[in-house]
Amino acid sequence: MATINPYLIFNGNCEEAFLFYQSVFGGEFPYMGKFKDMPSEGTPAISEEDANKIMHITLPIGNGSILMGSDSNSASGEVVFGGNVSLSVNANTKEEADKMYNGLSAGGNPFMPMSKTFWGAYFGMLVDKFGIHWMVNFDEKEN
């Protein structure tokens, strides 16, 4: 069964926000990566201004929920209230991820097709026909 988690996008203060959320909910960050940590091969150059912004962060909350977030960068532009929240759905199989992505994309804007990522996931992003932002993810496990 798929799980859904909120994904929050900030204009440069993601780390500050997540430190605040950590003070409220407790827990540890299993992952906090900055844009400067991205492999340079195959990705556009990161500006000095964006290098120390958060590319991705996770904070487990409660029984299985994960609060996730990142900063916007100069390539993606500033986010506005209402466009800074996505629902991240984690599939159990690659086929399930494709089915969800294709279903949610119908009549919407599938702006990042499902593809293998440098962090080892099969991932894509879209805005559905109702204006809801989605991230579809399948964590591929090495056997």
For 25-77, the pLDDT digits (tens) are 889 999 999 989 888 776 667 888 889 999 999 999 877 889 999 999 877 88
Highest mean pLDDT among 48-52, 86-90, 109-113: 109-113
Burial (CB count <10 Å: 0-12, 13-18, 19+), residue 38 = middle
Residue range 15-19: mean pLDDT, rounded? 93
Check pLDDT > 60 for residue 142.
no
How many of the other CB atoms lie within 10 Å of CB of 13?
13
Does 3-39+50-139 carry CATH code 1.10.10.10? no
Whether the CB-CB separation of 99 and 32 falls below 8 Å is answered with no
Whether the CB-CB separation of 74 and 49 falls below 8 Å is answered with yes
How many of the other CB atoms lie within 10 Å of CB of 37?
11
pTM: 0.70
Average pLDDT, the chain: 87
Sheet holding 31-34, edge to edge: 31-34, 54-61, 65-71, 3-10, 85-90, 133-139, 121-127, 109-116
pLDDT at 20: 87
pLDDT confidence tier of residue 143, bands split at 50, 70 and 90: very low
pLDDT at 50: 87
Query: Which amino acid appears at position 3 of this protein?
Result: T
Task: Please state, in angstroms and rounded to a whole number, the distance separating the CA atoms of residues 85 and 95.
Answer: 25
User: What is the residue extent of each domain of the chain?
Assistant: 3-39+50-139
**Token pair for 78:** 């500033």
Q: Where are the beta strands (DSSP E) in the chain?
A: 3-10, 31-34, 54-61, 65-71, 85-90, 109-116, 121-127, 133-139
